Amino acid sequence: RKLVGKITTGSRNFDELLGGGMETQAIVELYGEFGSGKTQVAHQLAVNVQLPPELGGLNGSAIIIDTENTFRPERISQMVMGLRAIDDREWRPEDFLKNIHVARAYNSNHQILLAESAMELAESLRETEHPVRLLIVDSVTAHFRAEYVGRGTLADRQQKLNKHLHDLMRFADLNNALILVTNQVMAKPDTFFGDPTKPVGGHVLGHTATFRVYLRKSKGDKRIARLVDSPSMPDGEAVFSVTMEGLRD
């Protein structure tokens, strides 16, 4: 087994909740209502994975499967400029944008295909200076929800989702990468990985760890992250902010 890597969120509170950042060889499911900050966290991780280890990164690159057309290069630029307050280097947005490979998924089958092609892209980048250490699927559930409506199709949907998840877990293991997926839920959490009161894991998830993080809005730019059913960390909450410069305490 390869050594697990950790990627900073940009917030010390959030990092501590996760045991020092988001881990590779794991799937992190960010779930929460619209506007809770899932896409913001995803953008920040796509920046931070590229940082050198001394700043909480892995010198890696990122792949984003964008299903809702919410990737914004300008937001990446803002976050890169925000790095200047953390470390006095000449950070340049274009240097970061070139290591973020974005693909728009038009439907659930396309999304599954893109996850398969991500594997090939990661292979071709494996021996470069910036191997892929992060794969984002934002949102992992939206297309499936929209396409499979009604009771008769639920089993079908679940089977497709399970296959997709399997591919993602394989990606995490083979590339020593973090898989970050988002899942919009209503105030009452109906999460993709099942009932939050039941243990997660078992034969479907294999040995890939799954962290489930519930995000919710608080006052102003504050957000609350709640860790649910982590394999290695106690459940708990952390407060962080989404600022123009990116995620902060």
Residues of each annotated binding site for ATP: 32-39
Beta-bridged to residue 32, according to DSSP, are: 184, 215
Q: For 144-147, which contacts have Cβ atoms below 8 Å and span 24 or more sequence positions?
A: 144/108, 147/107, 147/108
37 binds ligand ATP (CB under 6 A): yes
Q: Give the one residue of 8, 11, 25, 39 binding Mg ion; rule: CB under 5 A.
A: 39
Interface size with ligand ATP, residues (CB under 6 A): 15
Binding to ligand ATP by residue 36, rule CB under 6 A?
A: yes
For the chain, count helices (H), then strands (E): 8, 11
- Site residues for Mg ion, window 61-80 (CB under 5 A)? 70
User: Please, which residue, 36 or 175, has the CB nearer to ligand ATP?
Assistant: 36
**Nearest alpha carbon to residue 140 among 64, 230, 204:** 64
Give 7's strand partners: 22
- Three-class secondary structure of residue 156 per DSSP: helix
Is residue 39 close enough to count as binding ligand ATP by CB under 6 A? yes
CA distances from 154 to 79, 106, 149, 159 (A): 39, 20, 7, 9
Query: Which listed residue (6, 38, 133, 164) binds ligand ATP by CB under 6 A?
Result: 38
Task: Give which of Mg ion, ligand ATP, none residue 35 binds (C-beta under 5 to 8 Å, depending on kind).
Answer: ligand ATP
Binding footprint of ligand ATP on the chain (CB under 6 A): 32, 34-40, 70, 75, 78, 184, 242-244
